[in-house]
């Protein structure tokens, strides 16, 4: 019996599956950069100037980059940059970086005009913009008045991850107005695959190196179990849905996709939260007068469930996932596997995606 370990929040869980039931295990690709290769790219940053690092993610690749930057500071005998993080991540970041001399403070929205800022983030795919870059992260947070235009220019009512979309230009133009810098990272489950430094409207070009290592031509599958592969993308339902969009093209009509996402920090989408509380109607999603955070994911979810079934292994209340969102709720991965064999037959083949955040199935 194969033993497959999949990320689930802050831990890994084992999927016990018989060899005859395993279709294939799909993992991310790409050659990981060595430390000297990463450092050579980071040397373009002048750390002797006043610098503050804004962590937009706390993935392992981001932690790797920050650690190497600190090593460079030690070697050059210059002070380490201050870390700016959002309040919900403050405790975690302080647990990761324990140097008592390191300044870690909360990032406030009025600091965007600070030219000393270097935003650090890991690129992913995005159903609305095609790619989730530092530019798109910044427009979502600081440019809410521009998000309605970006939403209206979406490709359609289904997610389009990994595509070059017209609305991405709106995010680039938004960040053009700010004198800030970025470290844009492409990673996978094994480490850093590529990175770029510079203005965030330019570092997004690294997406050209992301696609070749992420795309896998796997055909259509009836049943698929998907783990985002990284803890930060399993923290909320909103973030975990990205992995589902990345795999949606490889799931057959009337098939079943089971998302393995702990969602320890809840829903993570204002639009989905409003819908579950009866404050958002599905009619508003296609032609809204105002953009609400996560509106695209609610739209994609309602349209995708018309194509195939969606199950989820999480700690979210079943009242939300099953009754409100129409998902099949499972208490654990064994429960999900038992459901597959019971409803689809004991010979059903299951495709397993272990790194849904860094993969794009075709």
Average pLDDT, the chain: 94
Give pLDDT tens digits for 306-333: 999 999 999 999 999 999 999 999 999 9
Reported confidence tier of residue 349, pLDDT bands at 50, 70, 90: very high
Q: What is the pLDDT of residue 264?
A: 93
- What would the mean pLDDT of 5-20 be, rounded to a whole number? 94
> What is residue 109's predicted lDDT score, i.e. its pLDDT?
77
CA distance 240 to 256: 17
CATH of 35-211, one of 3.30.750.24, 3.20.20.80, 3.40.50.11440, 3.60.15.10: 3.40.50.11440
- Name the CATH superfamily, with its identifier, for domain 3-27+215-361: LarA, C-terminal domain (3.90.226.30)
Q: pLDDT tens for residues 148-201? A: 999 999 999 999 999 999 999 999 999 999 999 999 999 998 999 999 999 999
User: Does the pTM exceed 0.85?
Assistant: yes
Task: Return the domain boundaries, the chain.
Answer: 3-27+215-361, 35-211
- Looking up tokens 């991965």 gives 333
Task: Report how far Cα 279 is from the mean position of its chain's Cα atoms.
Answer: 26
Q: Which helix (H) or strand (E) holds 328?
A: strand 328-330
- The Cβ of residue 146 has, within 10 Å, a number of other Cβ atoms equal to 17
Asked whether residue 358 carries a pLDDT value surpassing 90, the answer given is yes
Distance CA 296, CA 162 (A): 16
Q: Examine domains 3-27+215-361 and 35-211 and report if their fold is the same.
A: no
DSSP of 329-354: EESSHHHHHHHHHHHH-TT--EEEES
Residues of the chain with pLDDT > 90, as a percent, come to 87
* Nearest-angstrom CA–CA distance, 309 and 245: 13
Is a pLDDT exceeding 80 seen at residue 1?
no
- Binned at pLDDT 50, 70 and 90, residue 114 comes out as confident
Q: What residues pair up with 8 in beta bridges, in sequence order? A: 11
């Amino acid at each position: 019996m194969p033993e497959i370990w999949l990320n689930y929040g802050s831990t890994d869980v084992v999927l016990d599956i018989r060899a005859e039931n395993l279709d294939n295990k799909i993992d991310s690709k790409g050659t990981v950069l060595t430390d000297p290769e990463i450092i050579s790219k980071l040397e373009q940053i002048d750390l002797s100037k006043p610098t503050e690092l804004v962590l937009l993610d706390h993935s392992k690749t981001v932690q790797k980059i920050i650690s190497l930057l600190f090593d460079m500071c030690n070697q050059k005998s210059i002070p380490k940059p201050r870390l700016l993080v959002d309040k919900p991540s403050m405790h975690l970041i302080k647990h990761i970086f324990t140097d008592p001399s390191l300044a870690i403070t909360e990032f406030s929205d009025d600091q965007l005009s600070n030219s000393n800022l270097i935003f650090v983030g890991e690129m992913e795919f995005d159903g609305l913009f095609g790619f989730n870059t530092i530019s798109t992260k910044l427009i979502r947070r600081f440019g809410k008045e521009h998000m309605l235009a970006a939403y209206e220019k979406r490709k359609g009512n289904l997610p389009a991850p990994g595509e070059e979309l017209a609305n991405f230009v709106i995010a680039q133009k938004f960040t053009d107005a700010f004198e800030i810098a970025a470290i844009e990272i492409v990673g996978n489950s094994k480490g850093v695959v590529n990175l770029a430094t510079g203005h965030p409207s330019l570092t997004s070009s690294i997406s050209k190196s992301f696609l070749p290592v992420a795309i896998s031509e796997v055909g259509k599958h009836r049943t698929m179990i998907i783990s985002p592969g990284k803890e930060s993308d399993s923290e909320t339902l909103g973030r975990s849905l990205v992995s589902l969009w990345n795999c949606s093209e490889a799931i057959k009509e009337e098939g079943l996709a089971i998302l393995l996402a702990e969602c320890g920090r809840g829903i993570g989408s204002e639009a989905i939260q409003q819908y579950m509380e009866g404050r958002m109607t599905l009619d508003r999603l296609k032609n809204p007068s105002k953009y609400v955070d996560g509106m695209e994911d609610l739209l994609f979810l309602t349209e995708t469930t018309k194509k195939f079934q969606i199950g989820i292994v999480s700690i979210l209340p079943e009242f939300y996932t099953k009754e409100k969102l129409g998902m099949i709720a499972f208490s654990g991965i064994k429960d999900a596997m038992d459901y597959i064999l019971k409803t689809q037959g004991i010979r059903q083949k299951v495709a397993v995606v272990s790194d849904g955040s860094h993969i794009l199935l075709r």
